[in-house]
Amino acid sequence: MAEKQISLPAKLINGGAAGIIGVTCVFPIDLVKTRLQNQRSGQQIYKNMLDCLIKTLRAEGYFGMYRGAAVNLTLVTPEKAIKLAANDYFRHLLTKEGTVLSLSKEVMAGCGAGTCQVIITTPMEMLKIQLQDAGRLVSPQLVSKIPCAVSGCKIVAVSPVLTRAYNVGPLTFPERVSATKIAAQILHTQGIKGLYKGLGATLLRDVPFSVIYFPLFAHLNRAERDFTEERAPFFRSFLAGCVAGSVAAVSVSPCDVIKTRLQSMGRGRNDNYNGIIDCARKVWLQEGLSAFLKGAGCRALVVAPLFGIAQGVYFIGLGEYIIELCQYGRLST
């Protein structure tokens, strides 16, 4: 049975709305994932995910947990829209009338979707990671710069104003860094290619992710389904998205670690990686194989609800409903 084709505007609305809802719900865990992945052996600030959440909340406040969220919320609509719409387009293109899409063609559709989305994903992740990791870099510097009258004393609390600052100076109130300023600086010094640093690593992560995710989701969503149903129920789409998302996320975690290291390179540290292979080799030699799974649990916790919500909203048909309302309103006037 050929799959029902949904209009492109509906796909864009579904993907965009689902992306915004999902990012808003899970962004603090994504911030924790980035900070854990950027920790080096012997320089650990956070012991685990919970420790990172508590320390970030205490040092930077509630809004510190959403550092870099504005970039994601701005760009997640086109990013998720492209990903979901591209997958649907390739699946429809590869499906013959009266037949079910084969696994190999599902993989091809997922590969195409993952390739298309990096146009938006790479600069979005670049700016987001720069902002997310800034708080991790500044905290130790702040503590070391605060004078202590008694030798050997222990700093118990740090001023929230100072803790939230990015560029630390002795007893000064430095200017906060925004995504706009980071983007302007990158464009000025490196040009447009600077925003696409880590493009290869992003492809290495997102293409395999889509190759795993979309076929797995399609099969889970179709399992034990009544073929008289035109659309899967919300709970089935949600659970299928969660399971497929978490499996795909953990599978590509090593690629995500490499991408994060490359995109945060040069911000407050002396790391120097000459590409994907050099980064992978240095991480392996200096930190061991376990470093490639840093933040894997966080990533699964981020991606599972993110794609569960995305697919739930997508299959509910929010976009179609909004378009119908607009058409009805136009006909009524």
Which pLDDT tens digit goes with each residue over 62-101? 888 898 888 888 888 788 778 877 888 888 888 887 777 8
0.85 exceeded by the pTM?
no
Any domain includes 117: yes
Say if 145 falls within a structural domain: no
Give the lowest-confidence range in 23-27, 155-159, 188-192.
155-159
Residue 11 has pLDDT above 60, yes or no: yes
CATH number at residue 94: 1.50.40.10
Task: Decide if 192 is inside a domain.
Answer: yes
154 by Cβ neighbours in 10 Å (0-12 / 13-18 / 19+) ranks as exposed
Domain assignment present for residue 208? The answer is yes
Q: Is 28 helix (H, G, I), strand (E, B) or coil?
A: helix
List, for residues 23-60, the tens digit of each pLDDT value. Answer: 888 899 999 998 888 887 666 788 888 998 998 888 88
Instruction: Give residue 155's pLDDT.
Output: 40
pLDDT class for 247, splitting at 50, 70, 90? very high
148 domain-assigned: no
Residue 273 lies in a domain: yes
Number of domains in the chain: 1
Residues spanned by the domain of 85: 8-139+158-332
3-state secondary structure of 177: coil
Work out the burial of residue 4: count CB atoms within 10 Å of its CB; fewer than 13 is exposed, 13-18 middle, 19 or more buried: exposed
What's the average model confidence in pLDDT over 264-280? 77
Q: Is residue 152 part of a domain?
A: no
Which residues does 65 contact at the CB level (< 8 Å), separation at least 6?
A: 27, 28, 31, 53, 56, 57
Do residues 111 and 238 touch, judged by C-beta distance below 8 A? no
Residue 268 in any domain: the answer is yes
Q: Quick one: pLDDT band at residue 161, thresholds 50, 70, 90?
A: very low
